[in-house]
Amino acid sequence: QMGKNKQKGKKQMNVFHVANKQVKAKTKTKPIKTSLKNINILKNEKVENLNQIFSAVQRDVKNISKSTAPEPKEKTMVAREKPQEPVNVDALLTSTSLSGDMSGVAGASALGCSPAGFASGSSGIAARLPSRVLEHIFSYLDLSDLSMCSLVCWHWNNCLADENSEVWRSLCARVLSEEALRSDILCNLPTYKGKLKSFQHALSSHDCSRNVYVKKNGFTLHRNPIAQSTDGARGKIGFTEGRHAWEIWWEGPLGTVAVIGIATKRAPMQCQGYVALLGSDDQSWGWNLVDNNLLHNGEVNGNFPQCNNAPKYQIGERIRVILDMDDKTLAFERGFEFLGVAFRGLPKTCLFPAVSAVYGNTEVTMVYLGKPLDG
């Protein structure tokens, strides 16, 4: 039989050869039948699709550019009018007017809005931007930039008029401390813009006695325990016109003297001994909460409030100070009770909110409220 196999040209295989052959057959992979020509065709199709998409994007960009391009202005003869002053939009959150700042006009012209366009509702590029887009852009700006933006056109001005918009909320988050926003210090201010305005009018850390400092919340004054010294502080911004209100409250013992009131820039903010610093000269007017008397020019001007057995001040009680620079008066409120006018005939000069204290480690907080509500 072996001879027959040799004649047919077949090689005899043993058991090991058969096993190896079966293993190799299982591990073989099918060869790739896709030709190079087919691969190139697929690549060309993808490239062509990308080119078509890119061409479509370019067409869309051109269409958008055409729609936003400024319309050609017709030459018309317009009579010259006296230039109008920019509207005071209170964008700097202070009592000062923006009427003298004309840098916003330059920004208006660059954006297709002329100063006259502000008064008539400009139809330039600036007026076409959606309010949501404007709010998102404005939320990255600071107060000085926002004041200029408010002068560009009525559309931008109206966008900034919402005192609880995302613009003022984001600015509050950047400027105010977390403690001030989470505590009840600003509980009587419902809007974000009002909170920012209050911070701009808070007690100054640079215009005060060397024995006091303003805490991180930006509103509370802390007096260090220094013996035989009376220490005070002024607000950051003074007033020459209008009506203004702010709240003051003690968060510690009053000591022998605790005075709240107003002062000019010339009034001293520190003196030796324990005295009523506010009201010690003709540059300040004060109400001593300990003795319930009014002080000015170093003299007692009577008791306040003018009633029998007036209650003493309680720690934590909020006193509202009302300054009317038009009528030249200074009045006080406690809770919802109007205590009356304390001083009349105030001088026509810049007057600042002020406090003075003598007790060590006592703290005084002042929050500016804005224009007082009538009634």
Is a pLDDT exceeding 80 seen at residue 113?
no
pLDDT tens digits along 96-105: 333 333 334 3
pLDDT at 45: 75
Q: Name which of 20-34, 214-228, 283-297, 305-319 the model is least confident about.
A: 20-34
pLDDT at 60: 61
Is a pLDDT exceeding 90 seen at residue 362?
yes
pLDDT at 79: 44
pLDDT at 324: 97
**Integer Cα distance of 106 and 89 in angstroms:** 17
pLDDT at 61: 54
**Average pLDDT of span 6-12:** 50
Q: Name which of 112-126, 206-220, 298-312 the model is least confident about.
A: 112-126
Is a pLDDT exceeding 60 seen at residue 83?
no
Contact 270, 231 (CB under 8 A): yes
Q: pLDDT band for position 232 (50/70/90)?
A: very high
- In this structure, the strands spanning 319-324 and 258-263 are unpaired
**Average pLDDT of span 199-221:** 96
- In this structure, the strands spanning 258-263 and 352-357 are antiparallel
Q: Return left, alpha or beta for 353; rule: phi > 0 is left, psi -120 to 50 is alpha, else beta.
A: beta
**Integer Cα distance of 266 and 268 in angstroms:** 6
Is a pLDDT exceeding 90 seen at residue 329?
yes
Distances (CA, A) of 189 to 197, 199, 228, 339, 367: 10, 11, 37, 22, 9
Burial group, residue 276, by CB count within 10 angstroms (0-12, 13-18, 19+): buried
DSSP three-state, residue 44:
helix
366 contact partners, CB below 8 Å, separation of at least 6? 202, 203, 219, 221, 235, 246, 247, 248, 353, 355
3-state helix, strand, coil in the chain (%, to 5): 30, 25, 45
**Average pLDDT of span 206-234:** 96
Q: Please tell me which residue, 336 or 330, carries the higher pLDDT value.
A: 330
Handedness of CA 28, 33, 36, 42 (dihedral sign): negative
pLDDT at 306: 86
Q: What is the mean pLDDT of the chain?
A: 79
pLDDT at 55: 72
**Integer Cα distance of 1 and 4 in angstroms:** 5
305: preceding bond cis by omega (within 30 degrees) = yes
Q: Please tell me which residue, 3 or 53, carries the higher pLDDT value.
A: 53
Angle between helices 192-200 and 166-175 (to 10 degrees): 40
**Integer Cα distance of 244 and 249 in angstroms:** 17
**Integer Cα distance of 294 and 287 in angstroms:** 5
Share of the chain above pLDDT 70, in %: 68
pLDDT at 251: 92
Q: pLDDT band for position 39 (50/70/90)?
A: low
Q: pLDDT band for position 135 (50/70/90)?
A: confident
- The kind and range of the H/E element at 363 are strand 363-370
